Amino acid sequence: MKKLMLGNEAVARGAYEAGCTIAAAYPGTPSTEITEYIAKYDEIYSEWSPNEKVALEVAIGASIGGARAICSMKHVGLNVAADPLFTVSYSGVNGGLVIMVADDPGMHSSQNEQDSRFYARSSKVPMLEPSDSQECKDFVRYAFEISEQFDCPVIVRLTTRVSHSQSSVEIGDKENFKLKDYVKDANKYVMMPAMARRRHVEVEKRMAALREFSNSSELNKIELDSEEVGIITSGISYQYVKEAAPNASILKIGMVHPIPEKMISEFASKVKTLYVVEELEPFFENQILKMGIKVTGKQKLPVMGELNAQLIAEKLFDRKFEASQQVQAGQPIPVRPPVMCPGCPHRGMYYVLKKLKLNVSGDIGCYTLGALPPNECMDTCICMGASIGVAHGMEKARGSEFRKKTVAVIGDSTFIHSGITGLIDVVYNKGNSTVMILDNSITGMTGHQHNPTTGFTIKGEPTRQVDLELLCKAVGIERVTVVDPFDVKELEKVVKAEIEADEPSVIISQRPCALLKSVKFEGSRKISREKCKTCRACMKIGCPAIVDKKDHLEINPALCVGCKLCTKVCSFDAIERMDT
């Protein structure tokens, strides 16, 4: 049976068909749906872990315990999970262990454009890369087999266009994988220097065997056609190449590490001009050049952003494309950047921080949008959990006067991910930072996933809930205040008091995400033309539903949910129910 599937959904299906029984992940675009789809299979234990490092450790434990396990993350998540990755490469596996990593060329939803293929090389772990949904499913099954055959974890790399494109997939049967025996083996699983030295020898042997395997594996394919032009490519770039150069000979690499060197030499000898088409870094290109083969790649193609068929045809074959239509010039088209939703709890918080003109050390989540107009209220955003350490570093560099004008803002899920360690650092090293935990009862930006503070598991079952207030107190924060960000007067009072205090403090800004089904508002408001003095105080909250019509202000009833934040900043009672 054929079914249309997202790449991510096909990965889930592949894991299911391979008899995988354990899945752990931390959400991150574009990888999130992998684990959401896996969680729909009753046969697979699934969890959202607090972060990618823990997720990989859980998967490693499951593998050593004899199960087939899968762990999924976005590219920057692999930075967090890099520590266990480099050592599980030495210890190897028992049941198959597959690590899914989704890169984001073009940075549709990310803070950098790193190329995860280098992780495979530096951790000495094989990596596969599918180019459509069918291959997503097939390659995951291969990955489990390779993992067990060569006693190592296997990384499967996706990119946004593979993860988030739907194409047809042939559904297969579920393999009946039997839990392997648990064998105590300290020489293999306890990585102390003496054991690790012996394991490193095994790693090198394994990589030699994998290099041979790569040359004969059906994961790598030669499609011979023109003798003039040959193109080496992989992943989504293969699909673009097929359209940009329909007559070229192609070597499609499915095993991106280790690369099939013999196959590449053979292919190179059969064509006059050889190109490498790969997104981001010259990963294949540099290895092929080192083999002494003449090849063109990044001389002509960009190292930034995504590729596409037109771009490849233009850069490699000098074909010109002109959009057939041109809108008459002179009419500028305004951009439409993403915004925080109407009713968003973060809006009340930013209103206060902007009013107080504070420096804001930011973090990763929906609230990062506060850096854009109209809030323009975030100074830094580096990585998950960074807000607290960065605020602490600023205080140490610039002293207490600066600190009294600075707060760190971090979401509930991000705080659990890696903010808590930063907070412990503040306490331990005599910092006085004010940290605002934006507790909206969900992991928002990635599309509503549960986390340790929400009280529910990935499967929606009730579970024990981390108490943020008690947690902060337990690490040594004595000043912990819980406040509703829509009570802007109270929030302003609390923020002023906490930044002044000569000790570390936490403000838990608590109000659920406006998109949660449990959140009910009273319905759209309107602005009374009689009462409104057009003072524009309501514009300061930056709500997309309030529109400045120059001579008057209006609420767009199709967008307004009736959260009433605007009524709290209006001094003239001019914002009313629709029926008044």
Partner 1 sequence: MDKLNLLIVGVGGQGTLLASKILGTVALKMDFDVKVSEVHGMSQRGGSVVTYVRFGKKVYSPLIEKGEADLIIAFEELEALRWIDYLTGDGKMIINEQEIDPMPVIIGKAEYPENILETLKAEHSIYSLDALKIARRCGTIKAVNIVLLGVMARLIGIDRQIFADAIHEVVPAKVLDVNLKAFEEGYNYHR
Nearest to 35 by CA among 75, 63, 60, 8: 8
Q: How far is the CB of 94 from partner 1 (least distance, A)?
A: 35
Q: Which residue's CB is nearer to partner 1, number 202 or number 314?
A: 314
Q: Which is nearer to partner 1, 265 or 310 (CB)?
A: 310
Neighbour-count burial for 312-344, b at 16+ CB within 10 Å, e otherwise = bbebbeeeeeeeeeeeeeeeeeeeeeebbbbbb
**Sites of contact with partner 1 (CB under 8 A):** 2, 4, 29-30, 32-33, 108-110, 132, 160-161, 164-168, 236, 238-240, 242-243, 308-310, 321-328, 331-341, 366, 369, 372-374, 445-447, 539, 542, 544, 546-548, 550, 556, 558-559
Among 448, 469, 480, 495, CA closest to 348? 495
Rounded distance between C-alpha atoms, residue 270 and residue 476, angstroms: 68
Q: Which is nearer to partner 1, 141 or 161 (CB)?
A: 161
Alpha carbon distance, N-terminus to C-terminus of the chain: 57
Comparison of 195 and 519: residue with beta carbon closer to partner 1 = 519
Please name which of 393, 403, 394 lies closest in space to residue 499, comparing C-alpha atoms.
403
The verdict on whether residue 472 carries a ligand-binding annotation is no
Smallest distance, partner 1 to C-beta of residue 409, A: 17
Flag whether 570 is marked binding: yes
Pick the closer one to partner 1 by CB: 108 or 396.
108
DSSP-assigned states of every residue in 390-444: HHHHHHHHH-HHHHTTEEEEEEHHHIIIIIHHHHHHHHHTT---EEEEEE-SSBT
Q: Any bridge partners for residue 155, and if so which? A: 99, 127
Smallest separation, CB 542 to partner 1 (Å): 8
Please enumerate in sequence order all residues whose Cβ is within 8 A of that of 129, keeping only pairs 6 or more positions apart, or say none: 117, 139, 156, 157, 158, 234, 235, 253, 254, 256
Taking the complex as a whole, the smallest distance from the CB of residue 372 to partner 1 amounts, in Å, to: 8
In terms of C-beta density within 10 A (0-12 exposed, 13-18 middle, 19 or more buried), how is residue 57 classed? middle
Q: How far is the CB of 329 from partner 1 (least distance, A)?
A: 12
Residue 410 Cβ, how far from partner 1 at the closest point, in Å? 17
Q: For residue 421, which phi and psi values (nearest 5 degrees)?
A: -65, -35
Residues 506 and 423 sit within 8 Å (Cβ to Cβ)? yes
Shortest gap between Cβ of 66 and partner 1 (angstroms)?
A: 35
Residue 290: CB partners within 8 Å, gap ≥ 6?
none
**Of 253, 262, 260, nearest to 223 (Cα)?**
253
Nearer to partner 1 by Cβ, of 322 and 530: the residue is 322
- Beta strand 359-361 with 406-411 is parallel
Tell the smallest beta-carbon distance from residue 335 to partner 1 (Å): 6
Which CB, 68 or 161, lies closer to partner 1? 161
At 29, list the tokens.
Answer: 């675009």
CB of 243 to partner 1, least distance (A): 5
How far from the centroid of its chain's Cα atoms is residue 103's Cα?
Answer: 8
Is 566 a known ligand-binding residue? yes
Q: How far is the CB of 138 from partner 1 (least distance, A)?
A: 17
Task: Please check if 20 is assigned to a binding site.
Answer: no
Element (H or E) spanning 258, and its range? Answer: none
Alpha-carbon distance 275 to 54, whole Å? 40
Nearer to partner 1, 327 or 470 (CB): 327
Smallest separation, CB 403 to partner 1 (Å): 30
Report H helices in 270-375. Answer: 283-290, 309-317, 346-355
The letter for the amino acid at 276 is: V
Closest residue by Cα to residue 101 from 122, 124, 85: 85
> Is the CB of residue 206 less than 8 Å from the CB of residue 132?
no
**What's the token pair of residue 225?**
């056609």
Q: Is 136 annotated as a binding residue?
A: no
Tokens, residue 332: 């500028």
Give 374 or 393: the residue with its C-beta nearer to partner 1: 374
Nearer to partner 1, 327 or 397 (CB): 327
Which one, 32 or 387, has the nearer CB to partner 1? Answer: 32
Q: What is the Cα–Cα distance from 430 to 407, expressed in whole angstroms?
A: 16
Is 366 annotated as ligand-binding? no
List, as residue ranges, the binding site. 532, 535, 538, 543, 560, 563, 566, 570
List, as residue ranges, the binding site for [4Fe-4S] cluster. 532, 535, 538, 543, 560, 563, 566, 570
